[in-house]
Amino acid sequence: MRHSVFSLLLGAISLITTTGVTGLEFTVSLEENGKAADASKLQFVKIPPLKHRRRGHRNTTVATGQHVTAKRGNNDISYSDNWCGASSRSNDADPIRNVFGYFTVPDLKLRAGIPPPQYAAAWIGIDGAKCNQTLLQAGVTTVVNSNGGQSASAWWEWYPGAAYTIANLPVKPGDWMSVNITAHDATSGRIIVTNAQRGYSMTLNLTSGPKLCRWDVEWILEDFYEAETNKQVPFASFQDLWFLDTEATTVRGKNVGIDGAAMVHLMNPQGKVLCQAEKYDNANFVITSN
Ligand SMILES: *[C@@H]1O[C@H](CO)[C@@H](O)[C@H](O)[C@H]1NC(C)=O
Ligand SMILES: *[C@@H]1O[C@H](CO)[C@@H](O)[C@H](O)[C@H]1NC(C)=O
Ligand SMILES: *[C@@H]1O[C@H](CO)[C@@H](O)[C@H](O)[C@H]1NC(C)=O
Ligand SMILES: *[C@@H]1O[C@H](CO)[C@@H](O)[C@H](O)[C@H]1NC(C)=O
């Protein structure tokens, strides 16, 4: 893997980066308390692209190639190895343009019976479900250690192109943040990560990314797989995590909301449901931990 090339552009405000892998490039700008700030203090620490794509539940993917599904109102209930949350869909005739939502940085508690450190990642993304070869996403991962202390970090990823932890972008468990992702077309877009409580908003303009299908949007809490081992990290227990004011719009302006979405529950290999997503209305839902 080649190294990133960082070079400053536009004085102190933006920087441009070539990721080297797919030609994906990005520029970043930062606002603090409503004013342009020096984005060069944000450090993009390259990490191996994590396979945050949805995995079906082991038992059923092996046996039938289907997810276990049931219906609740007009929502499918489905089970996944790694996702809890909501996943909606459009199609080639009217591809996804934008996805948005507010959520809290995961606030974790140690889950009994499994070794610390334990983790959970909350994020919003385009593709990664039906479209399983690519995923544009941004969010935050919290880790809780053996004495209950937590730390969180923000990140973004355009799988399989590049993934970065954003050092120096402050996030604390329980903070309300928002993520706004726009696909201008299949290979360019914008990510806006805002943490109003800490007074900042970061904008990334992305070009020459891996080709999106623009079929799926999702709002997820994840027990993710480590890139090095391809094993899932120990999954922490957490305070109820709401996704609020969610919206996803298509190129033709249709809102692809939570109504009609698949509500995804995370089931471990032993068949235990570790968290579930409950719809409140078309824009809001909550994920609870078991
Ligand atoms: C991102 O693109 C928008 C619209 O083209 C532009 O106004 C903004 O300055 C760009 N930001 C960066 C960091 O390049
Ligand atoms: C990805 O999707 C394709 C086509 O839908 C399917 O054939 C393939 O098995 C999927 N790959 C994984 C890893 O799920
Ligand atoms: C998301 O960002 C786009 C600009 O990239 C903007 O047009 C849109 O209004 C934003 N959505 C929300 C809900 O803030
Ligand atoms: C999945 O398989 C495991 C091991 O075979 C079994 O213990 C568990 O009950 C199964 N879960 C479901 C939901 O069928």
pLDDT in tens, 190-249: 999 999 899 999 999 999 999 999 999 999 999 999 888 889 999 999 999 999 999 999
**pLDDT for 57:** 63
Instruction: With a cut of 80, say whether residue 150 has pLDDT above it.
Output: yes
Which of 210, 122, 227, 231 is closest to 173 using CA atoms?
A: 122
pLDDT for 65: 35
Which of 147, 162, 128 is closest to 56 using CA atoms? 128
Supply the pLDDT for residue 74: 82
Q: Quick: pLDDT tens for 7-24.
A: 223 222 334 454 445 589
Of 182, 188, 251, best ligand 3 pocket probe by most atoms within 8 Å of the beta carbon: 182
3-class secondary structure per residue, the chain: CCCCEEEEECCCCEEEEECCCCCCEEEEEEEECCEEECHHHCEEEEECCCCCCCCECHHHHHHCCCCCEEEECCEEEEEECCEEEEEEECECCECEEEEEEEEECCCEECCCCCCCCEEEEEEEEECCCCCCCCEEEEEEEEEECCCCCEEEEEEEEEECCEEEEEECCCCCCCCEEEEEEEEEECCEEEEEEEEHHHCEEEEEEEECCCCCCCCEEEEEEECCECCCCCCECCECEECCEEEEEEEEEECCCCECCCCCCEEEEEECCCCCEEEEEEECCCCCEEEEEC
Name the residue among 163, 159, 164, 98 with its Cα closest to residue 134: 159
Residue 63's pLDDT is what?
33
Q: Which atom of ligand 1 is nearest to the CA of 204?
A: 13
Cα–ligand 4 centroid distance for 249 (angstroms): 37
Q: Would the pLDDT of 146 be above 80?
A: yes
Confidence of residue 1 (pLDDT cuts 50, 70, 90): very low
The pLDDT of residue 17: 52
Q: What is the pLDDT of residue 289?
A: 98
Residue with CA closest to ligand 3 atom 7? 182
Name residues contacting ligand 3 (CB within 6 A): 98, 100, 180, 182, 190, 192
Q: 136-150: b or e for each residue (b if 16 or more CB lie within 10 Å)?
A: bbbbbbbbbeeeeeb
Residue 120 has pLDDT above 50, yes or no: yes
Q: Of the ligands numbered here, which is closest to the C-alpha atom of 265?
A: 4
What is the chain's alpha carbon radius of gyration, rounded to the nearest angstrom?
A: 18
Exposure of 251 in the CB half-sphere (CA atoms within 13 A): 13
Distance 132 CA to ligand 2 centre (A): 6
CA end-to-end span of the chain, whole Å?
39
pLDDT at 67: 52
pLDDT of residue 76: 85
Tokens (6 digits) for 189:
């877009």
Note the pLDDT of residue 52.
74
Task: Please tell me the predicted confidence (pLDDT) of residue 54.
Answer: 77
Model-level pTM? 0.89
Ligand 2 centroid distance, CA of 133 (Å): 8
Sequence-separated (6 or more) residues with CB below 8 Å from residue 179: 100, 101, 103, 123, 124, 138, 139, 191, 192, 193, 194
Query: What is the position in ligand 4's atom list of the atom closest to the CA of 60?
Result: 14
**60 pLDDT higher than 80:** no
Across the range 272-285, mean pLDDT stands at 96
